Amino acid sequence: MNNTPLLLVAIGVLAVGTFSMRFAGPALRSRFEVPERAQQLLAAAAIVLLTALVATSALTDGHGPAGIARPAGVLVGGILAWRKAPFVLVVVAAAATAAGLRLLGVP
C-alpha cells in the first residue's frame, strides 16, 4: 500500500474509535444498569474465552498438535497459578518443565 495519506487517515480513525470506546465505559457507567444475571454471564464468558485461548495455544502448533512438552508446561503453570503461586514462579516453572522435557527428547 503506497497511499500514505489514506494509511494515516485509517490510523487516525482507528485511534479515535479506540479512544471513544475506552471513554464510553466510564462516561456511561452511571447511566446504564447491567442486570446481575448479565454480569454473571459476562464473567463466565470471560473464563470460557480465556480457557479456549489457553487450550488452543497449548495444544496446537500451527496446523498440527504441539506435542507433549508444551501442554505439560502449561499444566504445571496452571496448577501453580491455581495454588496462587507468585506469577514469576508460575512462568519459570512452566518454561522449565517444557524445556526440561524437550531436553530429554520429548516432543
pLDDT tens-digit profile of 28-64?
888 888 899 999 999 999 999 999 998 898 899 888 8
- Domain limits of the chain? 1-32, 36-106
pLDDT, greater one: 107 or 103: 103
pTM of the model: 0.61
Confidence band (pLDDT; 50, 70, 90) for 1? low
Amino acid in the structure at residue 39: Q
pLDDT digits (tens, 9 = 90+) for 64-90: 898 999 999 999 999 999 999 999 999
